Amino acid sequence: MTVTSIQALQEDHFARWKNREAIAESLIPVIGKLYRERNVIVQVFSRTLVNRSVIQMLKVHRRVRMIAGELSVVDTAPFIEALAAMTDIAACKVDLGKIAIDYKNSDKSLTVSDFLRQQLSTVIGNGNCAGQPTDVVLYGFGRIGRMLARLIIEQAGNGQGLRLRAIVVRKTQEGDLAKRASLLRRDSIHGSFEGTIAVDEENEAIIANGNFIKVIYASKPEDVDYTQYGINNAILIDNTGKLKDEEGLGRHLTCAGVARVILTAPAKGSIKNVVYGVNSKDILDSDKIISAASCTTNAITPMLKVLNDKFNIVSGHVETVHSFTNDQNLIDNYHKADRRGRSAVLNMVITETGAAKAVAKALPELQGKLTGNSVRVPTPNVSLAILNLTFADNVSRDALNEYVRDIALHSNLQGQIEYTSSTEVVSTDFIGSRSAGIFDAQATIVNGNHACVYVWYDNEMGYSCQVQRIAEQMAGIKYVTVPAEQLTA
């Protein structure tokens, strides 16, 4: 290859990059307007383009090549522009990545506009179906509380959906409010808050991206009258982990202004443990208290469901390689639990997990078929579930991987199950993942009717997204998704 040809290639690649940057820049206000004014969320293979930077948009498009073929903003831009020109579309989530790929594979007998209108036939002229604003209170403001705050604030741009109105904490010292705001603003794992945060000392509030969030100081649930702060019919999300049964969590319901309660931990007694996407249909309007189970239960249950639907699980063992948590000690010290008193940052720590048994609460058909254990490791976030499964019949590795890939791309569990086939991924690559779990196709091992399946999960962000989805369902917020998702069994 000559110097001249190399220079030509350099100029060509850079010119195409600049062109894609320019297209992405022009699309940002269009996507934002669709969301804020018409409640239409633009996605590319289930990943939103709302509030994304130019580089983030280009990376979302680039990711598609690993799962569905080449796609760039050059392909999706005409569809975004055609979508913006439509005046009769209802609130919905539109996956223009999938639509653009389908169009590329079609005979192109239709124009982009006509093809898009055909795809959107179910949401044309159907009115706004995304629901009305619902007040949310975060009871506790630890790791999960702050992740939920970020997520709820992020989706507040259109004025509908969930509205974070207050957080409830114990006052620890002078300057408490500024410290709470600082922890929301900066995070060692998930990075800086996307937006602006200010502190209103006089009114004891945090102002995040224009959202006035009252900070309420209280020692007991029943001490708060939320209506005094203009909060009514709120969903309260208890992320303290202190109250886990109906009697304890029911104390929140004695407070004026609270209508329903979500627990971000496995519940005791008769409270429903819900894994969104698996048994979330079991949530009734009459249910006042719901548990969102655990991060591990949320990571493995959707995967176990689809594998059981297809291959019939006879038995299995779940081993979770879990990042250390705040419950463990930094250095050796007394702890009421076995082994957890030893230094979390220096040791791998074997500990029990109830996740395998908890799966049966969402999937009764797996009752008694699974065992489980956990190893805590010296990483601050992202965990790995190893599913050792025995099926009723033999299965091939390729068939199993292709089945899960199809589920991750097209089913109603695509928000819960993500798929990767990269040979180079490691745990930090999944920090910030919004899926309940990520199936690692390269790691799959199959021997006859035995399979070993690896599922990564961000045990903070991925789980928080599952909690948010439950809250949206309880609030009556439902977006029609286009193209329509395939229903799993």
**DSSP collapsed to 3 states, the chain:** CCHHHHHHHHHHHHHHHHHHHHHHHHHHHHHHHHHHHHCEEEEECCEECCCCCHHHHHHHHHHHHHCCCCCCHHHHHHHHHHHHHCCCECCEEEEHHHHHHHHHCCCCCCCHHHHHHHHCHHHECCCCCCCCCEEEEEECCCHHHHHHHHHHHHHHHHCCCEEEEEEEECCCCCCHHHHHHHHHHCCCCCCCCCCCEEEECCCCEEEECCEEEEEEECCCHHHCCHHHHCCCCEEEEECCCCCCCHHHHHHHHCCCCEEEEEECCCCCCCCEECCCCCCHHHCCCCCCEEECCCHHHHHHHHHHHHHHHHHCEEEEEEEEEEECCCCCCCCCCCCCCCCCCCCCCCCCEEECCCHHHHHHHHCHHHCCCEEEEEEEECCCCCEEEEEEEEECCCCCHHHHHHHHHHHHHHECCCCCEEEECCCCCCHHHHCCCCCCEEEEHHHCEEECCEEEEEEEECCCHHHHHHHHHHHHHHCCCCCEEECCCECCC
Q: Is 129 labeled as catalytic in the residue annotation? A: no
Annotated catalytic residue, options 129, 295, 452, 465: 295
Q: Any idea which residues carry the catalytic annotation? A: 295
